[in-house]
């Protein structure tokens, strides 16, 4: 008893001290990290608006002297630049549409349809997510490009063992038309929604395809948008695979082009920074517009994935 009465006031004092410092402390942490997060973007924006000659000169936080010359140079003097932008846009848009659809179809099959091998395939799919990319890049390169076995001939005819797509946009697109992560996400989504509506449609005589495309897909809007945004972000930013399969500068995607560009014009860093903005701005803009979907997807994958 005595011990209790002696320690109680001390605990209370400690708590109230914590109560007094905690909010300023938390705001301090948040403000500091805001500065750390935004500072690199802000200064790169500032310096992209300064002349090339001032690429390292103060002032740091404001574009003095101000110029739009770097953006003009990027867009008009480097004819490859619009090309990279276009290549990136084609790859990302095609993959986003195709992958979202295929993942929705597959996820629906896993969640709703009964078929032999379902459990086995689903578990295999989960395991496939854990294989590191480094293991797969070499065979993938061989399959997409020159072929696994060169000059395979059976009875005098040459059998191709690869797609021969190296250095084309299709080389980036083909292996990405569907992925395990999206499939898993869509499966979890379809498992979480009630199936009464689909059953009603089935009773009305709509076939399985009709039910899926006319009832289920429109119903899955939120999940589809979430997956589409995620896919767009991933494909727009992807670097390693395009680096391996794309060879000539005309066929580069924007990240690849920017890296190459830096190699050629490293002395003109303001232009590199201006070019970089064309890659980061669209994705940051999309993030601002669709924030809640991004955050949702992270909460969903982060917690249900365990």
CB of residue 110 to other proteins, shortest distance in Å: 8
Q: Does the footprint of other proteins cover residue 133 (CB under 8 A)? A: yes
Q: Which of 72, 158, 192, 239 binds other proteins (CB under 8 A)?
A: 239
Total residues interacting with other proteins, rule: CB under 8 A: 99
Nearer to other proteins, 148 or 159 (CB): 148
Q: Does the footprint of other proteins cover residue 137 (CB under 8 A)? A: yes
Q: Does the footprint of other proteins cover residue 97 (CB under 8 A)? A: no
Nearer to other proteins, 73 or 276 (CB): 276
Q: Please report where in the chains the tokens 């992925």 appear, as a residue.
A: 179
CB of residue 31 to other proteins, shortest distance in Å: 9
CB of residue 244 to other proteins, shortest distance in Å: 6
Q: Please report where in the chains the tokens 């869509």 appear, as a residue.
A: 186
Chain residues 179-218 in contact with other proteins, contact rule CB under 8 A? 179-180, 183, 208-209, 212
- Do 165 and 171 form a contact (C-beta atoms < 8 A)? yes
Burial of 114 per CB tally in 10 Å (0-12, 13-18, 19+): exposed
Q: Which of 80, 94, 121, 219 binds other proteins (CB under 8 A)?
A: 121
- Do 145 and 166 form a contact (C-beta atoms < 8 A)? yes
75: helix, strand or coil:
helix
Q: Which of 75, 89, 90, 125 binds other proteins (CB under 8 A)?
A: 125
Q: Does the footprint of other proteins cover residue 255 (CB under 8 A)? A: yes
Q: Cα–Cα distance between 105 and 190 in angstroms, integer?
A: 10
Q: Does the footprint of other proteins cover residue 168 (CB under 8 A)? A: no
161: helix, strand or coil:
coil
Q: Cα–Cα distance between 88 and 252 in angstroms, integer?
A: 8
Residues 46-65, one symbol each (x = binds other proteins by CB under 8 A, - = not), give -x-------xx-x-x-----
Segment near other proteins (CB under 8 A); pick from 69-77, 112-120, 165-173, 219-227: 112-120
Q: Pick from 68, 78, 65, 77: which is nearest to 48 by CA? A: 68
Q: Does the footprint of other proteins cover residue 287 (CB under 8 A)? A: yes
Q: Does the footprint of other proteins cover residue 175 (CB under 8 A)? A: yes
Question: Residue 117: left if φ>0, alpha if ψ -120 to 50, beta else—which one?
Answer: left
Q: Which of 74, 109, 173, 223 binds other proteins (CB under 8 A)?
A: 109
Nearer to other proteins, 92 or 169 (CB): 92
What does residue 153 show for φ and ψ, rounded to 5 degrees? Answer: -120, 130
CB of residue 72 to other proteins, shortest distance in Å: 20
Q: Pick from 202, 269, 275: which is nearest to 51 by CA? A: 269
How far from 287 is each of 6, 225, 291, CA to CA, in Å? 55, 12, 5
Q: Does the footprint of other proteins cover residue 106 (CB under 8 A)? A: yes
Q: Cα–Cα distance between 20 and 193 in angstroms, integer?
A: 46
Q: Cα–Cα distance between 227 and 202 in angstroms, integer?
A: 27
Q: Does the footprint of other proteins cover residue 259 (CB under 8 A)? A: yes
């Amino acid at each position: 008893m005595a011990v209790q009465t002696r320690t109680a006031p001390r605990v209370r004092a400690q708590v109230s001290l914590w109560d007094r410092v905690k909010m300023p402390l938390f705001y301090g942490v948040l403000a500091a990290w805001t500065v750390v997060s935004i500072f690199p973007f802000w200064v790169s924006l500032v310096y992209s608006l300064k002349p090339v000659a001032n690429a390292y000169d103060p002032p740091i936080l404001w574009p003095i002297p101000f110029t739009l010359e770097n953006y003009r140079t990027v867009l008009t003097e480097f004819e490859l630049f619009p090309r990279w932008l276009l290549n990136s846009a084609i790859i990302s848009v095609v993959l986003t549409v195709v992958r979202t659809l295929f993942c929705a179809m597959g996820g629906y099959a896993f969640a709703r349809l009964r078929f032999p091998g379902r459990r086995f395939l689903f578990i295999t799919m989960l395991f496939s997510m854990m294989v590191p990319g480094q293991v797969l890049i070499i065979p993938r390169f061989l399959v997409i490009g020159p072929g696994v076995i060169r000059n395979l001939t059976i009875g005098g005819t040459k059998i191709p063992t690869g797609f021969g797509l190296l250095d084309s946009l299709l080389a980036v697109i083909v292996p990405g038309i569907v992925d395990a992560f999206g499939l898993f996400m869509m499966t979890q989504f379809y498992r979480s929604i009630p199936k009464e509506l689909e059953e009603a449609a089935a009773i009305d005589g709509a076939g399985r395809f009709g039910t899926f495309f006319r009832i289920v897909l429109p119903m899955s809007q939120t999940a589809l948008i979430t997956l589409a945004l995620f896919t767009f972000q991933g494909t727009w930013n992807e670097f390693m695979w395009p680096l391996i399969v794309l060879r000539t500068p005309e066929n580069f995607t924007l990240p690849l082009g920017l890296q190459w560009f830096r190699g050629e014009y490293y002395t003109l860093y303001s232009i590199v920074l201006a070019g970089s903005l064309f890659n980061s701005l669209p994705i940051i803009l999309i993030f601002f517009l669709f924030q809640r979907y991004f955050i949702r997807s992270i909460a969903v994958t982060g917690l249900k994935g365990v």
